[in-house]
């Protein structure tokens, strides 16, 4: 355990060092929110991968696989194609918007396209809600990983984790997040490969684990759906694939690219890194369940501890230290992205809807203040919901963004007939419906149990599909607007 | 085909997805969501009302992979363990090798390899920069 703590501290020092270096380069709100629009493709691709994956894959994922089987991988398998989807559907047009309109947020893009304050305000609100939920996921993942290592309670670990992110985010903004993403994303991608190797060797190979788990648990556990209904598993794949188009923490990365030509290799880099994370998810969850099935270890009280159990018992200490530190810093840099985006929603997007605009210096100052307020809110949410499970909380956030924003951004930027009324209603219904369904599900509401639970569907998918239908339907029912010349040029490019 | 027609197909696909979820028909879901995926990608890939041959082939291949793969998994029986194929149960092998691995090569890699010719050519960038300068001068 001493080697583990040593590696964690060393890793953290490197990451914090990068963070403070970034602080010195952060002089304007453009630096704070979009890293000065000066990034190369490796930085953007690794930032996109890290924003998408993070604590969700490395902590929640193995836990879900342990509990529910192979079918949970549908949450991460889209990575082989979803980044390409985002790049194809959004990449070029978002980057051109940054160039022509100075867009820094998703809400800016929606305003530029539709010239609707209502739609952009709702987009900012949707971003804020989803980002805070996602942030709570990251901090909860951090707490799960580090509390047993340092002997802290879950709540103490949440406070420590949020405190480090706060320091980091106030200082360096998006620059800090992105450059640490390159470092820790690269380390985690490679380390995932080693973890996969150790997991396979400890399980006697994948074929052996498959056979034993099929016999000792049940065959469905290692089948493509796991112990889940097929409709839920497919729903996860759908929402986690195309829903990427509505994720502000990914769409926003396109603004940061220095040269639009750099869009070329981005999805390959991000997809490879994501797929390596998927190998970790698959192998760790199964090998820990295998060890329980053959009686070598006791059943886990909390499935999110699967990664800790594996690293503590079956991986070399240095590798365990790297993974723990990597998870912690992945959480921190992803949380930094989220908190800065949420801060941008508060100091730029929402005031803009009321015709209020701050100067760059004011945006920087208020941006840092809102980071503090959001941190406190996140700690509260983590205390209340963190124990529900890291991956489920992450799915809540992803589904909310997908339903609220994917049609408006993904279809709206590629279809001239789309109208501002459609954008407003799609965001409103997507956001509202998903929140109502998720809260109903989590609170065990009777109406949810009677109407939706028997359907065996993923709320995010259901809400996203409704949002798509509303977006296209309302567009056809409302008058088409004339596009500004530069927006038309962007949509023709 | 113009954007409008692809949007109509996407709309139809979404409605079929909604029906499949409410009526609990996984097979219908399995064939309707690839329609939504493919048409959405087509909307993004269209450039000057056309899609390049490479991207077109890529999207058609992805559509076929998803339809065939998900239909097969839905039709198979996963409650009995008989054998492994490439280390997994047969249905899981389809999941891993066909649905997860193959789209990386057929989709993601093809996008990067065809980028300069079919997604964003140098002349487009120059034309756009010229338009941007003219707009700034106004």
Q: How far apart (Å, rounded) are the C-alpha atoms in residues A362 and B126? A: 36
A73 and chain B in contact, CB less than 8 A: yes
- Average pLDDT on A26-34 reads 59
- Average pLDDT on A112-128 reads 91
Q: What is the DSSP letter of A39?
A: B
Per-residue pLDDT at A474 exceeds 70: yes
| Cα angle A49, A53, A54; round to 5 | 110
* Chain A residues 86-145 with a CB less than 8 Å from chain B: 87-90, 92, 96, 99-100
What's the half-sphere exposure (Cβ side, CA atoms, 13 Å) at A250? 36
Q: How far apart (Å, rounded) are the C-alpha atoms in residues B138 and B131? A: 11
Q: How far apart (Å, rounded) are the C-alpha atoms in residues A255 and A278? A: 27
Asked if the Cβ–Cβ distance from B112 to A96 is below 8 Å, we say no
The domain limits of chain B are 3-137
In A23-145, where do the E strands start and end?
A: none
- Looking at the DSSP bridge assignments, the partners of residue A93 are none
3-class SS of residue B85: strand
Q: Which two three-digit tokens encode residue A125?
A: 């609100």
Q: How far apart (Å, rounded) are the C-alpha atoms in residues A155 and B84? A: 44
Q: Considering the entire predicted model, what is its pTM?
A: 0.89
pLDDT at B118: 85
pLDDT at A452: 93
CA of B77 vs chain A CAs: smallest distance (Å): 9
Other Cβ atoms closer than 10 A to A254: 26
Asked if the Cβ–Cβ distance from B111 to A267 is below 8 Å, we say yes
CATH superfamily of A2-492: Sodium/glucose cotransporter (1.20.1730.10)
User: Considering chain A, what is the average pLDDT of its residues?
Assistant: 84
**A391 versus A239: which is more confidently predicted?**
A239
Percent residues over pLDDT 70 in chain B: 92
**A291 versus A102: which is more confidently predicted?**
A291
Dmax (CA) for chain A in angstroms is 68
Q: Which two three-digit tokens encode residue B37?
A: 């995926």
- The predicted complex's ipTM stands at 0.94
* Chain B residues 8-27 with a CB less than 8 Å from chain A: 10-11, 14-15, 17-18, 20-22, 24, 26
Listed range (A1-5, A292-296, A298-302, B69-73) with the worst mean pLDDT: A1-5
Q: How far apart (Å, rounded) are the C-alpha atoms in residues B57 and A28? A: 45
Per-residue pLDDT at A310 exceeds 90: yes
B130 and chain A in contact, CB less than 8 A: no
Q: How far apart (Å, rounded) are the C-alpha atoms in residues B118 and B121? A: 7
Listed range (A155-159, A463-467, B126-130) with the worst mean pLDDT: B126-130
Q: Which of A230, A234, A264 sits opposite B33 (nearest CB)?
A: A234
Confidence of residue A28 (pLDDT cuts 50, 70, 90): low
Asked if the Cβ–Cβ distance from A472 to B109 is below 8 Å, we say no
Q: How far apart (Å, rounded) are the C-alpha atoms in residues A417 and A429? A: 20
pLDDT at A357: 79
């Amino acid at each position: 355990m001493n080697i583990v703590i040593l590696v964690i501290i060393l890793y953290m020092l490197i990451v914090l060092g990068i963070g403070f270096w970034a602080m010195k380069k952060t002089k304007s709100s453009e630096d704070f929110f979009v890293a000065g629009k000066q990034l190369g493709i490796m930085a953007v691709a690794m930032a996109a991968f890290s924003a998408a994956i993070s604590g969700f894959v490395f902590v929640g994922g193995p836990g879900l696989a342990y509990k529910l089987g192979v079918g949970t991988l549908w949450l991460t398998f889209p990575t082989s194609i979803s980044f390409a989807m985002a790049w194809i559907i959004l990449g070029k047009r978002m980057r051109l918007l940054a160039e022509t309109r100075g867009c820094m947020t998703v809400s800016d893009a929606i305003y530029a396209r539709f010239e609707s304050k209502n739609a952009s305000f709702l987009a900012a609100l949707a971003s804020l809600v989803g980002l805070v939920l996602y942030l709570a996921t990251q901090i909860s993942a951090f707490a799960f990983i580090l509390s047993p290592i340092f002997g802290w309670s879950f709540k103490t670990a949440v406070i420590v984790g949020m405190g480090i992110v706060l320091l980091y985010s106030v200082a360096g903004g998006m620059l800090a997040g992105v450059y640490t993403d390159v470092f820790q994303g690269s380390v985690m991608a490679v380390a995932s490969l080693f973890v996969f190797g150790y997991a396979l060797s400890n399980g006697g190979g994948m074929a052996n684990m498959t056979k034993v788990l099929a016999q000792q648990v049940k065959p469905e556990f290692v089948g493509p759906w796991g112990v889940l209904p097929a409709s839920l598993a497919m729903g996860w794949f759908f929402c986690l694939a195309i829903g990427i188009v509505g994720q502000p923490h990914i769409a926003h990365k396109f603004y940061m690219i220095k040269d639009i030509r750099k869009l070329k290799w981005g999805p390959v880099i991000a997809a490879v890194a994501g797929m390596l994370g998927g190998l970790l998810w698959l192998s760790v969850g199964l090998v820990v369940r295998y060890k329980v099935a053959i009686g070598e270890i006791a059943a886990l009280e909390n499935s999110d501890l699967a990664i800790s159990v594996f690293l503590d018992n079956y991986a070399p200490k240095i590798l365990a230290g790297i993974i723990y530190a990597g998870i912690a810093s992945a959480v921190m840099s992803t949380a930094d992205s989220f908190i800065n985006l949420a801060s941008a929603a508060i100091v730029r997007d929402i005031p803009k809807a009321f015709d209020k605009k701050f100067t760059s210096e004011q945006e920087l100052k208020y941006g840092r203040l809102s980071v503090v307020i959001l941190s406190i809110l996140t700690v509260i949410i983590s205390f209340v919901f963190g124990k529900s499970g890291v991956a489920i909380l992450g799915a809540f956030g992803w589904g909310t963004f997908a339903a609220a924003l994917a049609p408006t951004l993904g279809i709206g930027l590629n279809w001239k007939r789309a109208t501002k009324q459609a954008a407003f209603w799609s965001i409103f219904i997507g956001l509202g419906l998903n929140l109502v369904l998720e809260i109903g599900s989590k609170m065990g509401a009777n109406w949810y149990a009677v109407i939706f639970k028997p359907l065996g569907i993923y709320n995010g998918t259901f809400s996203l599909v409704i949002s798509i239908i509303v977006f296209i339907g309302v567009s056809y029912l409302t008058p088409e607007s004339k596009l500004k010349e530069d927006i038309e040029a962007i949509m023709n490019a | 085909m113009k954007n409008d027609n692809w949007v109509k197909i996407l709309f139809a696909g979404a409605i079929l997805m909604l029906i499949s979820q409410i009526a609990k028909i996984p097979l219908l879901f399995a064939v309707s969501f690839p329609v939504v995926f493919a048409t959405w990608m087509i909307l993004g890939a269209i450039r000057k009302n056309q899609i390049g041959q490479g991207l077109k082939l890529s999207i058609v291949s992805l559509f076929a992979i998803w339809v065939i793969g998900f239909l097969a998994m839905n039709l198979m029986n996963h409650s009995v363990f008989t054998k492994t194929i490439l280390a997994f149960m047969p249905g899981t092998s389809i999941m891993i090798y066909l649905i997860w691995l193959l789209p990386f090569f057929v989709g993601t890699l093809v996008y990067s390899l065809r980028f300069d010719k079919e997604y964003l050519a140098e002349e487009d960038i120059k034309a756009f920069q010229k338009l941007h300068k003219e707009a700034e001068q106004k």
